[in-house]
């Protein structure tokens, strides 16, 4: 536990040692008190986290939202104490009482770090692989934001230059999403990203030899990273926590500005617990009273004291507050000079800090003339993006290798690519705005989360709807974190056609609607698509998914022939076209199936049956409306209701009740022309008419 320090590089005193040891024991005590949690890594990573928080990172404990701060991501979220204890020691707002309340109801110290819940937490981690992938997004966002605000500054000289630091674990690197994101980081040459990989060779099933035998350093070299290895547990030698070496490695990492950096650090989990160090027993459960006691004795601490922090320790570590304020003041000078020299960019910065939309943005939204042949909603979405791009520089995004299919490339906009990564088809620059995720939906989702949690940009990412499954864990986290990211999920039904059942979403609408806090929007035509984008952009406190058709959909004549205005999309559900008089039956459709409702309405009218057509692009928005509004669309007294949607019926019965009918699918698709599939699978005006009569 003693450290040879070289003052010329890293200032490190006996008090620092004591602070690190205090951190270890706080971790052991906290887990012991609640009876569950992960003490092992919090103990062995204490010197690493302490070095980062106290010696390396630029941050201001008094303002965890300071735009100039370095970012820290604890990808190994189960080791949340690693971070909580530094937030306490450094004076970021947590106190001893918070550590004592670990993992209990209402505490600021939940089992895993939660974004928006505890100051100083940059992203929610716990599901492994996500944090490091979020960090890739943060590093990308840093570059994009710099490009928006201060593109001409020399490297390292802009107030918008900072680093992103990550501590990750074996589990993070076993998860495929981290490999995807790390590959993207290599392509993007993210020199501001520094990952410290804690290799302790222990996971929940104990020795990782049973499942993880890679040469991880070599793998990161293959991704194009700058790689260093530090071994604190050299065979045959005493375990030495060489923080000096770590500090130097971090400096070496920062010196490499055209590659992300990977520092492989070999540690002993649970160090220095005399019996449980290096074992799975210290990973995911309390050490036990005896072992905590033995550890304290070994370290020269009083075994009868719990949560003990000497005054000199906390005084020493809380000096960070003053250092942070000094750093902040120096930054502020630089920032103010930039602001004065760049008033327009400063205005953009201010607007983006608040996630406000620019004046007049709605005026550029395209409208689409009535057209029976129509356009695919994915194509309409592309036109919306092209129209918005010039007025909303904060809007950026791309696709997981399906740009042309997802229509995610706004006309004439540059790609976000280093100079030597550009292609004939996609040029741009390091400050570009069109993202190329490769065939990596999961990393796309996680990177989007990192981008959105970093700053005020609005990011979108596209893939085929059925492959939303690949990115689902990241979507759930976006919803948990309430991040305003937008998914552009195209090819939304059996309308996909020839690619067949692996590519045709059936259960997918129900599955993504299940995600609490995600708005799922499936517009029925081009004008609904434009209004859907508009409403999504108005909301800046949640993620949204646009679910778009591959095939052309008729553009209905808005404002004439009884068709409602497309701005009603914002209500989530609205009367698209009413009958004369009180409706006998309500036909509810979404997306490409609304057209069958409209056609059925006419047929029913010819038979003297009054049917109302409701377009319901977003269940979540509809649910947010007043009871009165919802009742005006779906009057309680009209029991006959039909839902038409090319997916499973799950979830619709709450709206249509006992008498309701669904025109839906309860089987997978097939490989054939999409139009034919709609017919074969019973999506026709006649089928809707039949269901309506059944319902009556």
Q: In the set 328, 383, 436, 458, which binds a copy of itself (CB under 8 A)?
A: 436
Q: In the set 44, 107, 535, 695, which binds a copy of itself (CB under 8 A)?
A: 107
78 versus 162: smaller Cβ distance to a copy of itself? 78
Position 256 contacts a copy of itself (CB under 8 A): no
75 versus 531: smaller Cβ distance to a copy of itself? 75
112 versus 276: smaller Cβ distance to a copy of itself? 112
250 versus 459: smaller Cβ distance to a copy of itself? 459
Position 694 contacts a copy of itself (CB under 8 A): no
Nearest to 330 by CA among 141, 66, 122, 147: 66
16 versus 180: smaller Cβ distance to a copy of itself? 180
Around 146, how many Cα atoms within 13 Å sit in the side-chain half-sphere? 25
Size of site (CB under 8 A) for a copy of itself: 119
Beta carbons of 622 and 571 less than 8 angstroms apart: yes
Q: In the set 16, 70, 114, 578, which binds a copy of itself (CB under 8 A)?
A: 114
Burial (Cβ within 10 Å: 0-12, 13-18, ≥19) of residue 202: buried
Q: What's the min distance (Å) between Cβ of 13 and a copy of itself?
A: 36
- Residue position matching structure tokens 């499954």: 469
Position 111 contacts a copy of itself (CB under 8 A): yes
Beta carbons of 12 and 3 less than 8 angstroms apart: yes
Q: In the set 437, 533, 596, 678, which binds a copy of itself (CB under 8 A)?
A: 437
What's the alpha-carbon Rg for the chain, to the nearest Å? 28
Q: Taking every pair of C-alpha atoms in the chain, what is the biggest distance, in angstroms?
A: 91
Position 458 contacts a copy of itself (CB under 8 A): no
Catalytic residue among 145, 170, 180, 441: 441
Beta carbons of 397 and 488 less than 8 angstroms apart: yes
Q: How far apart are CA 408 and CA 350, in angstroms?
A: 27
Q: What's the min distance (Å) between Cβ of 299 and a copy of itself?
A: 27
Q: How far apart are CA 76 and CA 580, in angstroms?
A: 61
Q: How far apart are CA 540 and CA 535, in angstroms?
A: 10
Q: In the set 5, 422, 540, 684, which binds a copy of itself (CB under 8 A)?
A: 422
Q: What's the min distance (Å) between Cβ of 222 and a copy of itself?
A: 4
59 versus 103: smaller Cβ distance to a copy of itself? 103
Q: What's the min distance (Å) between Cβ of 88 and a copy of itself?
A: 17
Four-residue CA torsion sign, 196, 238, 274, 28:
negative
Position 223 contacts a copy of itself (CB under 8 A): yes
Residues 667-686 that bind a copy of itself (CB under 8 A): 667-668, 670-673, 676-677, 680
Q: How far apart are CA 457 and CA 414, in angstroms?
A: 16
Q: What's the min distance (Å) between Cβ of 502 and a copy of itself?
A: 4
CA dihedral 644, 650, 655, 657 (to 10 degrees): 100
**C-alpha distances in Å from residue 27, one per residue of 23, 82, 96, 290:** 6, 8, 11, 15
Rounded to 10°, the helix 130-149/343-353 angle is 150
Stretch of residues binding a copy of itself (CB under 8 A), selected from 122-130, 229-237, 534-542, 558-566: 122-130
Residues 615-654 that bind a copy of itself (CB under 8 A): 648-651, 653-654
H or E segment at 406? helix 403-406
Q: What's the min distance (Å) between Cβ of 421 and a copy of itself?
A: 6
Residues 467-526 that bind a copy of itself (CB under 8 A): 467, 469-470, 472-473, 476-477, 480, 497-503, 506-508, 510-511, 513-517
Position 255 contacts a copy of itself (CB under 8 A): no
Residues 280-299 that bind a copy of itself (CB under 8 A): 280
58 versus 650: smaller Cβ distance to a copy of itself? 650
155 versus 404: smaller Cβ distance to a copy of itself? 404
Does residue 668 sit in helix, strand or coil? coil
H or E segment at 462? strand 458-464
Q: What's the min distance (Å) between Cβ of 170 and a copy of itself?
A: 7
Q: What's the min distance (Å) between Cβ of 217 and a copy of itself?
A: 8
Beta carbons of 550 and 540 less than 8 angstroms apart: no
Q: What's the min distance (Å) between Cβ of 465 and a copy of itself?
A: 13
Q: In the set 8, 154, 218, 359, which binds a copy of itself (CB under 8 A)?
A: 218
Nearest to 273 by CA among 470, 508, 486, 46: 46
Residues 341-370 that bind a copy of itself (CB under 8 A): none
Residues 143-172 that bind a copy of itself (CB under 8 A): 170-171
Position 262 contacts a copy of itself (CB under 8 A): no
Q: In the set 399, 490, 592, 615, which binds a copy of itself (CB under 8 A)?
A: 399
Q: Based on the residue annotation, tell me whether 624 is a catalytic residue of this protein.
A: no
Nearest to 458 by CA among 534, 380, 558: 534
Helices vs. strands in the chain: H and E counts, helices first? 25, 22
Q: How far apart are CA 173 and CA 265, in angstroms?
A: 14
Beta carbons of 591 and 492 less than 8 angstroms apart: yes
Q: How far apart are CA 131 and CA 166, in angstroms?
A: 8
**Which of the residues are catalytic?**
441
């Amino acid at each position: 536990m003693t450290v040879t320090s070289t003052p010329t590089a890293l200032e490190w005193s006996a008090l620092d040692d004591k602070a690190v040891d205090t951190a270890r024991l706080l971790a052991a005590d906290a887990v012991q008190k609640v009876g569950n949690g992960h003490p092992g890594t919090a103990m062995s990573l204490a010197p690493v986290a302490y070095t980062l928080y106290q010696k390396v990172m630029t941050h201001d404990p008094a303002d965890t939202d300071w735009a100039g701060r370095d970012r820290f991501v604890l990808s190994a979220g189960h080791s949340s104490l690693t971070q909580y204890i530094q937030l306490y020691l450094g004076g970021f707002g947590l106190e001893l009482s918070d550590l004592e309340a670990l993992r209990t109801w209402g505490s600021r110290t939940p089992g895993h770090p939660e974004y928006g819940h505890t100051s100083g937490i940059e992203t929610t981690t716990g599901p492994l692989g996500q944090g490091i992938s979020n960090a890739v997004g943060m590093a990308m966002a840093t570059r994009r934001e710099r490009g928006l605000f201060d593109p001409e500054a020399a490297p390292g000289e802009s107030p918008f230059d900072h680093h992103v630091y990550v501590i990750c674990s074996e589990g993070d690197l076993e998860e495929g999403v981290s490999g995807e994101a790390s590959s993207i980081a290599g392509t993007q040459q993210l020199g501001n990203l520094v990952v410290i990989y804690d290799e302790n060779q222990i996971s929940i099933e104990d020795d990782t030899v049973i499942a993880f035998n890679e040469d991880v350093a070599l793998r990161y070299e293959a991704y194009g990273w700058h790689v260093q290895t530090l071994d604190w547990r050299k065979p045959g030698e005493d375990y030495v926590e060489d923080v000096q070496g770590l500090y130097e490695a971090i400096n070496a990492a920062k010196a490499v500005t055209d590659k992300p950096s990977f520092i492989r650090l070999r540690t002993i989990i649970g160090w220095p617990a005399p019996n449980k160090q290096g074992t799975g027993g210290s990973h995911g459960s309390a050490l036990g009273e005896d072992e905590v006691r033995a550890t304290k004795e070994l370290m020269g601490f009083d075994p009868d004291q719990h949560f003990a922090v000497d005054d000199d320790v906390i005084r020493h570590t809380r000096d960070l507050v003053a250092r942070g304020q000094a750093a902040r003041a120096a930054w502020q000078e630089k920032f103010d000079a930039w602001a004065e020299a760049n008033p327009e960019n400063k205005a953009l910065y201010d607007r983006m800090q608040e996630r406000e939309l620019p004046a007049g943005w709605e005026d550029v939204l395209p409208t689409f003339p009535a057209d029976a042949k129509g356009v695919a909603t994915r194509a309409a979405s592309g036109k919306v993006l092209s129209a918005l791009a010039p007025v909303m520089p904060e809007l950026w995004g791309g696709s997981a290798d399906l740009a042309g299919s997802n229509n995610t490339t706004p006309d004439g906009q540059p790609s976000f690519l280093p100079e030597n990564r550009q292609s004939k088809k996609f040029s741009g620059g390091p400050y570009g705005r069109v993202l190329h995720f490769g065939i990596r939906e999961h990393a796309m989702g996680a990177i989007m989360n990192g981008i959105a949690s970093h700053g005020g940009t609005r990011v979108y990412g596209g893939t085929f709807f059925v492959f939303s499954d690949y990115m689902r864990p990241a979507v759930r986290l976006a919803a948990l974190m309430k991040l305003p990211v937008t998914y552009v999920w195209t090819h939304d039904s059996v309308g996909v056609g020839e690619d067949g059942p692996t590519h045709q979403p059936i259960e997918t609408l129900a599955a993504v609607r299940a995600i609490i806090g995600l708005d799922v929007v499936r517009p029925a035509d081009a004008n609904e698509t434009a209004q859907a984008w508009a409403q999504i952009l108005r909301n800046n406190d949640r993620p949204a998914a646009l679910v778009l058709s591959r095939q052309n959909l008729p553009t209905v004549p808005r404002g004439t022939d009884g068709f409602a205005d497309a701005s009603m999309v914002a209500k989530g559900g609205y009367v698209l076209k009413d009958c004369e008089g009180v409706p006998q039956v309500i036909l509810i459709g979404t997306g490409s199936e609304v057209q069958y409702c409209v056609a059925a309405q006419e047929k029913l009218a010819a038979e003297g049956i009054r049917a109302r057509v409701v377009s319901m692009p977003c269940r979540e928005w509809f649910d947010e409306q007043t009871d009165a509004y919802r009742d005006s669309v779906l009057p309680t007294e009209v029991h006959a209701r039909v839902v038409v949607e090319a997916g499973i019926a799950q979830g619709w019965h709450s709206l249509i009740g006992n008498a309701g009918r669904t025109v839906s699918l309860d089987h997978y698709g097939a490989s054939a022309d999409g139009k034919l599939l709609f017919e074969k699978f019973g999506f026709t005006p006649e089928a809707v008419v039949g269901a309506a009569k059944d319902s009556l």
